[in-house]
Chains A and B, each alone.
Chain A
Amino acid sequence: MDYWDIKEVVREMIPRQNVLVPVTSEGGFRKGRRAGYKEYKLFPQGWNEYKRELGGMKSAFEVSCKAAGCPSPLNLDVWDGKVCYFNCNYCFANHFRSTLYENFFDRVPDGLRHVDLGEFERELGDLMSARFQSALEKMSPEKRAIALRIPIRLGVRFENFLPQEKRDGISLHVLRLLAKYHYPVIIDTKSILLAEDEYLEAMASNPGGVVVQLSLSSANPKLLKAMEPGAPSPAERFEAARRLNEAGIRAVLRVEPFLPFLADSRSEMGEYASRAKEAGVEWMCWDSFSYSTASAVTRRLFQEARLDFDRMFLAASDSRMMTGILLYGMMENFRSLGFRCSTYDDMNSHLNEDTLCCNVTGALSGYRMNYGSTKAAEAFIHSRQGPTGWADYNTHVMKNGGFLSEELREEMWKLWNHDGNAAYGMGWLSVVPSGRDEHGLKWAPAEKNPNLERGLEVIRGN
């Protein structure tokens, strides 16, 4: 059963919407003010003005709030802004920032800011001092991550290689600093700036290794122009991937978001695969449409581009079952064409061809993963023959440097016991409950992911 067999069934379950007239945007003013406004919060003493003046960036580093699900959660963003000029209509950050940073960016003409390099160097030096230490208990989560040599990920929260970067060279300087520390780096980007000589040299000089994940959901320039109007074209991104690979920097193509019905035809994906091959790409990352991006604004932007947001979103995000089986089908298709595929999606992560879902095997040196995460727990349970309890897993994590924070340990314990955020629970992975002990559930490895198998049974009509 290949992807298009699966889609034949899915298309009969999730229909396409007809509109009466095209959805268009209108200018003009609306009720309410967006500039110079004041916001108040109610305290027991009365209303207090609430200011969101951010000032300088306090830290460019952050352990992701989704660390419980992520094996490489150490984020670094040296650029930040209200608006990214790539202007992707599915970006969760633009809409979030436009409200959060309103006051701050009232005073910043181009809407972008970056770290102060002097302060950044001091912070990086302090963090890097943790590399050879073993007493992690009193360290911040970020320092623990450095001590454990978890790769630094640039670009999870903002694009660090916009045209302003070419002018100012902030990220370039940061890449050179990280090379001095021999620290492994993963970069998420849509920019082609990294294919320029000075960036290639900065990355190639890092003995810890650098992997560049070039985000590219489709090879269709017309579709991407509608969805990512300011980003480089597919042709430019394929060419950047070729230059990176030729320079010995692994370019991973990142199909995130994967877009069923919008970018999944046999001919289009065939073209994607052949152009990726021409660019020397071997590794690919896949993931679904971010659930948290499903705001009315995002939906409207898709509709203004005459794209059926609801059909895509229901298939590629809202229904975990549909998302899992569609991703499975498309990744199997690309695997059959010789690509090595990995995903963050829990229903498919047991099939990953990489220890992290970021596709870094063989490209980074001396790195470790966040063992205190559900995916690491899944791998640990599979490495054992019998049922695994929390105590065994906890010992395993402690032997590997421990959890990145006490909060993360508590979150993981909840997820282990079917509590906490259900979207990231152990129950989505290729493990099954196999008993209880004094710490809660015990888990055993499943030969196949039970959720994926159930989804495929639905598709088969059983």
Chain B
Amino acid sequence: MTSPTSVTIRSFQVGFGDCFLLQFNYASGEPRNVLIDFGTTGLPKTLATTPKVHMPLVAQEIARLCGKDAGQGKKGKLHAIVATHRHKDHISGFATDGSNGGSGAIISELQPDVIVQPWTEDPDAEEDALRPTNTSRATPSARRRRFTRELNAMHGVAEASVAYAQAELRKGAGAALSIRALGKLQFVGEDNVKNLSAVKNLIAMGKRRGARAYYVHYGSKSGFEGVLPGVTVTVLGPPTLEQYDKIGTMRSRDDVEFWHLLAGPRTAAARRPLADGFSSNWSRRHRDMSGRSPLPPQSRWFASRLGRLRGQQVMEMVTALDEEMNNTSIILLFEFGGRKLLFPGDAQLENWRHALQDVGDGKEAAENVKHLSDIDFYKVGHHGSLNATPKKMLWEKLVNRKKPVAKRLRTMLSTMPGRHPGKTGGNSEVPRKTLLDALKSDTLLLSTDDLRKAKALKTTDWYQEITIDAVAAKPGN
């Protein structure tokens, strides 16, 4: 087994989420299979189904494509899993607790040899978490509590925002925000709520005898070294805090954690101040102080406006949190047979900037840009949002855009319009229309959004598929 002759990339219909199966095909021997993300936060209504039903079916299809054939006693094999970051729309399918119909168990049975996650997911990260530990098997200790606490705080804020959205939705016409806005708030909040079952399964798969977990960062080993013969995999992101402190501005210079301030006191972890207010003691004390005064007439208008403002602030907080979590996303470049495939997960500008603008005082970054300029395939970042495909740093440098069809840049987009509220302080749709226009005019685009229009859902309608041959062979799809 030398170098792959081709790669087949499938982007599964998971609504607003990502699920990419890469099959590296070799002249001799079985293909090598890599699953990059498996999650959803909502399916198109046209599918008339739910994640509990749909995700196990997708998992079974993945298993089939990986060689599972129960009739012939074949178990199938997944060689590697990449969970680019911990958002629900990227990992919920790995859950085994029934929230997605147990789809994670089907994936586990494929016995992946390598589990690749960003360094921020390392369960044994040091307390200060400026960089990952050398091995995922280091002894857990009190040192990691601080890091865990910060992530938990972010989840706490997300949980509170979901609780807020649900409470407002129950009010109906009296809600502070529109039903549509609350729906989006709930969506982003749920995407950021800790998916414990999926996280545990990813850890468990990495600890399976014969398997190994890698927690990667810019410039680190990818973990694919022994898994994909003839394929070079480069990790371009995320940077560690040491490499690039912009990615971790949640960590202030005084080590007061921004998200912890919003999540609430650790002594009352069960409470959600953002949704419910402070402790019952606090509430009781101030309620008594006020004597339960009714709102005077001249104060009612402003009180009502405050309710609306609160909704807007919660929306801003959870969107900001979402962006920060996206920036922990892995960016991977696969190279084989003269081909280059770029998978950036949901990386946002700060993550990209390190690799393409700042690293090595700009010199190494310039080399990275040059190296990426002739990529053959691009997985569109963050479902086609405003800020995930850097326009000047990356897009304008891609030389295979607008080339004749045979040589033109291939792109794949997994998205579902109308779900995501866009960027903090802004008003931008996802997928971004201007980006979609550019993808359609300059590249050969395959989007899962086109799949939902299929009238009769057949197995082959579950994914977009493209095959890219090594340069020596004839390119095609």
A binds B: no
Name B's A-contacting residues (CB within 8 A): none
Name A's B-contacting residues (CB within 8 A): none
